[in-house]
Amino acid sequence: MTVLDKAVEGDVTAPARRRRPTGALLTGGLAVALVGLIPVAASLGAYPVPVGHVLASVRHHVGLGGGELDRVAESVLWNVRFPRIVLALLVGASLGCAGALMQGVFGNPLAEPGVIGVSSGAAVGAVAVIAFGIDFLGTWTVSLFAFASGLVTVLLVYAMSRSGGRTEVVTLILTGIAVNAFAGALIGLFLFFADTAAINQITFWQLGSLSQATWPKVLAVLPCAAIGLGIAPLYARRLDLLSLGERPARHLGVDVERLRIVLVLVIALLTAAAVSVSGIIGFVGLVVPHLLRMAAGPGHRLLVPASAVLGALVLLAADLTARTVAAPAELPLGVLTALLGSPFFFWLLRRTRRRQGGWA
């Protein structure tokens, strides 16, 4: 057994191992709640479909019996509701997992994916396309430009924050803040040159929404989400060691710089893919890992996959609320998550400050 394995098994995750039954029960409960919410979300909306009919339609399509519904109900379910539900699951899982990785990499419980500029960078690409009427890729233009600009922004932030072959966390965060400010200025400039129709579309995109969900958009996000969600748990042990501090982690065999590079790219991949199809949806990556950390402890072998499950559950519930609470109107999803997440962030800020005895 290597030094890294001994350290992880013996010292770092011993508390997590003692909590494993609780963690497994929590994850299982979240998965059951998620599975239970899916048919409910599919049944509710402007055209209600009973849950029993939803389940029957699903069984019919997978060849397990059941009956086919009338043409309108089938169209509503399979062309509107289910693409939106699957997209909410992918986006929520990506943002939740990215938030857990972000807080682990930076060693800061207040970190979230937008800190390194990926959300604002993706917004610049999307806003530029909408403002200047670029559409040579058809309906894919906004999503692809947003995804590409988000990834480029993160790479730029990372390159600008490196010095002497190393990257300091504080420098990375401050560089991200500066890039976020610059991206905000670019968005304002593009809005100045946009016409009224484009401004309305940009505003709707910035507020976040899944109302334009389609199966092609699901297929666009699926590979990025699958790659990111598949890679993330592989680095859970190293994140546990990194929580001890950079120097102890290096002594235990962790290549800290390489770990940061890989995980920042994974965070960028997950967040850029999510933002490119849903617009800016904040606080999911901040709130979800904290709720799990308070419930089941800081071990990343539980925290990373459970954050993906809870992120999917939270975003699906938020999207269901956004499209039903003010029916027939629809609340912007990003606004709803911010309204719920901001008080939590304020409470977390005061709690952290009180525990540390002040920051002065």
Decide if 278 contacts 91 (C-beta within 8 A): yes
Q: Please give the structure tokens belonging to residue 242.
A: 């990194």
Q: Give me the CATH code for the 70-355 domain, please.
A: 1.10.3470.10
Residue 356: band (very low, low, confident or very high) from pLDDT cuts 50, 70, 90? low
What pLDDT score does 174 carry?
Answer: 84
First-residue to last-residue Cα distance in the chain: 44
Q: What's the pLDDT tens digit per position in 87-125?
A: 999 999 999 999 999 888 887 777 778 777 888 888 898
What pLDDT score does 319 carry?
Answer: 94
Domain spans of the chain, in order of start: 70-355
Q: How far is CA 55 from CA 37, 68, 71, 253, in A?
A: 12, 10, 16, 50
pTM of the model: 0.85
Rounded Cα–Cα distance for residues 139 and 136 (Å): 9
Residue 160: band (very low, low, confident or very high) from pLDDT cuts 50, 70, 90? confident
